[in-house]
Each structure stands twice: as C-alpha cells, then as structure tokens.
Chain A
C-alpha cells in the first residue's frame, strides 16, 4: 500500500512539478505566491502602482506554483547565456534580448521622455539642478553603508541607486553591476517606488514646517520657454552628458529622444512612444520580473539586507531633498516653496505630484506641479550621472 502511494506521488510529481521539491521550498513558493497575490490586490486597489504591481503580482503567483521537472521555471530562465533557452521558455526572448542588455530600461525612458515637460527645468535650471543634487543623498550615502554591510562595491552601487528612485535606472545599472542580485534589487526598488506615495508624504510633513509649505509660487512669473529652446537644450545637454558620462549614454539618448520627439511635435511618434512603447515595455518589465521572482532565486539572506538598504537609500534621498528645499527657501528669501526639494527625488512624476498635493492641501491656490516638475526631471538626469559614475568605477 505504502509502495503504491509512493509510486503515485512520484508519478503525480511528474505532472504537478512542485510536489518534487523539498517541503521547505514548497512552503517558500506558496509564501511568495501569496505575496504576489497581495501585490496584485494592492495594485488593483491603487494602493501600489497598478501598472507595475498587477502584472508583477500575477507573474509571481503563477511562476512560484508552476515548476516543471527537468526544466524548472517554465516561463523564463534567469541565465541568458544559452540560445537554446529562447526555444524552451516563452518569455526568454524578452529576457535575453531586452533585459540582459538594458534595452527594456531604455524603452521605458523613450516613453517617459515623450511625456515629460521640461519647461520649469529650463526656466529655473539652477534651482532644479541644485535641488536634484541634494536629493541624491541616499544614492551616495548608501554606497558605503552597503559595503559596510558586507556587499562588494559593485553590488553596493547597484543597491544605492534605489535612492535615485528611478526604476529604469535601477534596472539598467543592476543588470550591469549586480546580475546576481538584479531580481531582488528591482523587486525591492519597484515595491518601494510604489510605496513612495504613502511614506514620502509623511516624511515631507515631518521635515518641512506646514507654514513653509504654504509658500505661494505664481505660475505667471515663469518665463515662456519656446519649443525651439527646449529642442536645442535637449540636443546640447544630451550631447554634453553623453560626452562626460558615456556609461549612461543609452539612458540619456533614449530619454532625450523622447523629449525631442515631443518638442518637435511629431505627434505620430509621441503617440507611439507614449501609448505603445511605454505601455508594452512597462507591462513586459513587470511581468518578466514577476515570473523571475521565484523562491529558488529570491531566497537569499542578502535579500533582507537589500530591503533594509533600499528603504534607507530612499529615506536619505527624501531627507536630502527636504534639506535642499529648506536651504533654497531661505536663500530665495521665502520665494521658493521648500516642497520642491522632495520633488527632486526623481520618481517621475510621483514625487512632483506628492509635493503638489501637499501644497494644495495647505494653500488651495498653490498650483505647484509646474514648478515641481523641474527638480523632478533634473533628478532623472542627476541619477543617470551617478549611475554612469558607478558603472565607470565598479562595472566588471
């Protein structure tokens, strides 16, 4: 009878592959599937970013429960070295051809560039860039912290870039600096970026006095910036940044190509980049990342440390932004709203929207979004600069 049962389980495990795994791994897979379902639900409820969390969540649920004996994860293999994998795993072509070379991050950047307004960045370049530099505090300070925690410098650099709060840059850099941890770093990074809506608002309220948040900024005071100026700026700055920081040139090119297409008013391209390229690449990014987030890949003592260091990086960057905002407020003799500081944490456009909402809550006349987009976009550029420096110094 026992022999019959054992044979039955053995035969069944060939069909239901999870049964062939150790009990510990089965439990871990069920836990990760439940976490995936929770992320999916929170995305559906708009608590977390639905564009990322819904495909990522369903990817996690399905990938953790589907295990094929002899094949493993039937969706994608984390090792892109063999061409044969492209003929076995259905999502492998996306991973091999879009993730391992960073293309997916560049596609997202095309789309972000095509929907980004650089008016305030050009109208107030000094304010925007100084605030953006302040808001990189976490990206810089987390590097020695992660090394002190035991990570190699290149891994530490990839983790520290979570502080830049820019998903595509975290993805691009971790693929080049920390392939071993890229899944953990990106799942943690995107999770925290989705949570920014909740914790950044609280942090802003704690660090910036409410009476200063009420500082009124009149949009009519902004100088008019013509599309021609924006176009020329995009060409000159992308060329200059690519010259100085060639490691980040793919990101710089894709972002500014999007901006240039928008300012040149090529509506067909703008529509293509925004509605097709950005949507398809974000969906695939989240789905592939979700299917890669399985127990065998993710269960690693380092993941706990990455969770801790990731939140530290974002926390420090937000604090740096607030410090910058307060300094600029006092230097401008109270003319610049300090909420522009935390808006420089470059999660486009989330942090700018948070600052805008807070300013409106305190003073309903204060329409801050136009101003907040300046440091927000400058933050993308400063994060790309730091990524380039880290890639130059630490990439293997």
Chain B
C-alpha cells in the first residue's frame, strides 16, 4: 500500500472511530442516567 492510500484510509478510519466514541459517550450518558434514577 502506498503512503497516499495509508493517509486516505487513516482519515476514513478516523471518522469511523470518532462516530464510535460518540456512540459510546451517548450510551454512557444513558446508563448513568438510568442508574441515577
């Protein structure tokens, strides 16, 4: 794989991981909300 392909794939993967972390944060907030109640 060339360096340009690595760069593009890294950028795409970064968006995917960013969404994953955002989903995790959402779940954490819901879980804590439920435990809090």
Contact = CB atoms under 8 A, between A and B. Distances in A.
A21 interface: no
Contacts of A132: 18
Interface in A125-145: 125-126, 128-130, 132-133, 136-137, 140-141, 143-144
B7 A229 contact: no
Contacts, number: 78
B3 A156 contact: yes
Given A143-B7, A153-B3, A240-B24, A129 B19 contact: yes
Contact of B36 (A125, A126, A128, A228): A228
Nearest to A231: B32
Interface stretch (A84-92, A211-219, A379-387): A379-387
B19 to A, nearest CB: 7
B24 A236 contact: yes
Interface residues of B, number: 24
Interface string A364-396: 000000000000001001100110010001000
B14 A382 contact: yes
Contact of A144 (B3, B25, B29, B32): B3
A362 interface: no
A233 B21 CA distance: 10
A308 interface: no
Majority SS of interface residues in chain B? helix
Q: Which of A125, A126, A389 has the most CB of B within 10 A?
A: A125
Interface string B15-27: 1011101101110
Contacts of A232: 28, 31-32
A147 interface: yes
B27 to A, nearest CB: 8
A389 B18 contact: no
B28 A229 contact: yes
Contacts of A233: 25, 28-29
A140 B10 CA distance: 7
A122 B29 contact: yes
A22 interface: no
A133 B36 contact: no
Listed residue (A129, A225, A237) with the most chain B CB atoms within 10 angstroms of its CB: A129
Contact of B7 (A144, A228, A240): A144
B11 A140 contact: yes
Contacts of B6: 143, 393
Contact of A130 (B15, B24, B29): B15
A137 B11 CA distance: 8
Contacts of B24: 236-237, 240
29 contacts: A122-B25, A125-B21, A126-B19, A133-B15, A136-B11, A136-B14, A140-B7, A140-B10, A140-B11, A141-B7, A143-B3, A144-B4, A147-B3, A153-B3, A228-B36, A229-B28, A229-B33, A232-B28, A232-B31, A236-B24, A237-B24, A237-B28, A240-B21, A240-B24, A382-B14, A382-B18, A386-B10, A389-B10, A389-B13
Closest 6 CB pairs of A and B: A129-B18, A125-B22, A125-B25, A126-B22, A140-B11, A229-B32
